[in-house]
Chain A
Amino acid sequence: MIAAVAERALRGLALLVVACAVPLPLAAQSLTVRAAGDMLQVRGTGLRLIEGVVAAHLKDGRSVRVDFDMTILDKAQGASITQARQSFVISYDLWEQRYAVTRNGAPPRSISHLVARDAESWCLENMALPLTALGRFARDLPFWIQVDFRVQDQPPTAADAESPFTLRTLIDVFSRRRQDEPPGRTFEAGPFRVGN
């Protein structure tokens, strides 16, 4: 009896998967580290920050504030050795069709004429993390890095507006995060050694 229900369930599930086949983007971020003077510099690609609703928001000429939180861990999902927090403001130059990023704080740093991926990388590279804070991990021990970023300025979405339900809006609904959750991601990479 249970087998029959399970079989029907699997058959239906397979049909749903075929019906709703949507290519899912794979997480493909990669990080590298190096010492730049007395600071640890982290470079990364594939953060997938400027995409979807955030990219649409920026291309509407608005800016977004993104809070980055970078934690150095002693092992995968391990204890925190040190942490850096930094806010950035990203905007999209409507005429140059390139992104501009400003690092908040004193003194502010800024850059423009970047494509989306370079703007994301620039944020990571401009996280200030002194090597001294890594202690013995700054010398020869391997460490892991956890990066968390949250977009703080919630863009208005189509759901705020009166919009009739259509297949198109259904696709929008499925591809959108819940409105009470700021867009963002957390990921971890490692092991790294300074000088790698």
Chain B
Amino acid sequence: MRTLSLTLLLLSVLAVTPPPARAQDVEPPDGTRVESAEVSGIPDAQLSPGLRRDIDAIAGKPLTRPDVTQLARRIEEERPEVVVAVRIVARPGDEARVVFLVARISDDASLGSNINARYTVESVEIEGLKEHEISAALRDRLQALVGTRLDPDAADKLVEELKAERPSYNVWRRIERGTRRGQIRVVFKFAEIEELRWLHFTPSRSKFVYHSDQGWSGLHDIPMGNRDHRVTIGFALDDNDTLVEEYSGFRVRFESRRLGTERVGASLEASWLNNNWRSPTLAALDAVPGGAEPYRHRLTVEPAVSVALTRHLRARGGASLSSLESLRHSPDSQMASAVTGSLAYSQRWRQDRRTSQDVEASYELRTSADGLGSDLSYRRHLGHARYQFESRHNRIIADVFVGGITGQAPLFERFTLGDSSTLRGWNKFDIAPAGGDRVFHQSVEYRFHGFALFLDAGSVWDDGATHELRASTGFGFHLDHVFLTAAFPLDARGGGGTFMMGVRF
């Protein structure tokens, strides 16, 4: 019965289709005189006399699509077990023939699950992956859809097979109109799952942050490129959130994470920054004769090569070449050049869709090199670890870092605490306005939905000086990309607390 109905439906489509393809492609415009109107797929007698009369009445009148659509709806309202497609075919003499093609849902369950199942697949396309990266057998099965009516279940099954064949990709399908009416294009879209890549691009540093003691900081990275190569243009506006210095300027970073293989990548970053210094910082620097010198401009070039030792362990090596134009003795400048190396580990465990654990750990070494023409001799170590547990709306984040500098490092290498992400509630220009060459910091935060409670503790000091452990606590609204925080030092010396808000994206 089902086969017979479908055959009749297809035959009726063919019957009303004039042979030349051109006439089929172009539907007559509104206003064309309707030569005839008919219902195909169910006997006229199954429609009410009033509806039959109204369908017949459009013959001889100018074509009006909203009226035709309304009639199709009335057929469906009278016969809830059917769906109706309207076919308007050009006829000789600038006339049009209107056919209401009726199909019973009970004859074809796929019509009930997707109305587009009545259309014929014109082409099958793949996006996000080169066709030859799919097995020939699966490619053939994809192309076998062409010329058939869309079967959503079969298409979904192919999606699952594509996922099985390319497990490092998310795969989904979408359908679009074809070039001819009644035909559709099926597009299988691939998007690489970022966490399964061997190497990751440098995370965006974009942020707009307000700190009640330190004011606004802004950074905006604009990445462009594809899944293997990227150019990022970044702008900084009065950023004082992470370093001792406040800087504005721009940077350009080229990155590739496939140099012959996905396990090797490279990057080159250049930045041009103008620096400003807060008066507490300048006063602190003046108090230490022979100490680090503030600079007016900082030009930095940083080439690096990355290698994925495993999917979770990555090594990086390179250089950092900075020219620092003196603030007080311009145009004199210093070179701060270092060889850099780091080892980073990251892994995620998903217990189910709503529960996961993330671990990140890294160690970075930056050491000045005479061979690179550095005027400053120093060595900087930084170790960092972070753990996050998330279950439904609960999230616990623990973060710790430890750092040390030996020798005379430029100011941008010195450690600070007391900003929008470390020792919240304190002002870094009160704790260590010129930064320190030793640092320790830990933070524990609990979030429920977006509401956050946290406890920060840490110390930043210079080698040989006494160091004090400071702590702070606070609460706020913290989402992945936006935060609104009130934080309070657990010590009277820290003042009345701070308010911070912003976006990081």
Contacts and interface: CB of A to CB of B under 8 A. Distances in A.
Contacts of B505: 165-167, 169-170, 173
Given A9-B212, A165-B204, A156 B76 contact: no
B105 A102 contact: yes
A167 B224 CA distance: 13
Contacts of B225: 164
A104 B109 CA distance: 11
A167 B111 CA distance: 40
A63 B114 CA distance: 6
Interface in A101-124: 102, 104, 107-114
A55 B47 CA distance: 33
Contacts of B115: 63, 91-93, 100, 112
Most buried by A among B176, B225, B499: B499
Given A5-B496, A8-B499, A108-B81, A165 B484 contact: no
Contacts of B112: 89, 102, 104, 108, 110
Given A4-B496, A169-B505, A111 B191 contact: no
B73 A165 contact: no
Interface in B49-77: 69, 72-73, 76-77
A108 B106 contact: yes
B116 A93 contact: yes
Interface in B202-234: 204, 206, 208, 210, 212, 220-225, 227, 230
A111 B76 contact: yes
Interface centre among A9, A16, A92, A95 (most CB of B within 10 A): A95
A19 B204 CA distance: 21
Most buried by A among B111, B224, B480: B111
A61 interface: yes
Interface residues of B, number: 69
B105 A110 contact: yes
Query: Range of interface residues on chain A?
Result: 35 or more
Given A61-B184, A110-B76, A96 B86 contact: yes
Given A94-B175, A108-B106, A12 B210 contact: yes
A110 B481 contact: no
B223 A165 contact: yes
Interface string B419-430: 000000000000
B402 interface: no
A91 B177 contact: no
Interface of A: 1-2, 4-5, 8-9, 12-13, 15-16, 19-20, 60-63, 89, 91-96, 98, 100, 102, 104, 107-114, 156, 160-162, 164-167, 169-170, 173-174, 180
**4 pairs of A and B residues whose beta carbons are closest in the complex:** A61-B175, A161-B191, A60-B174, A100-B115
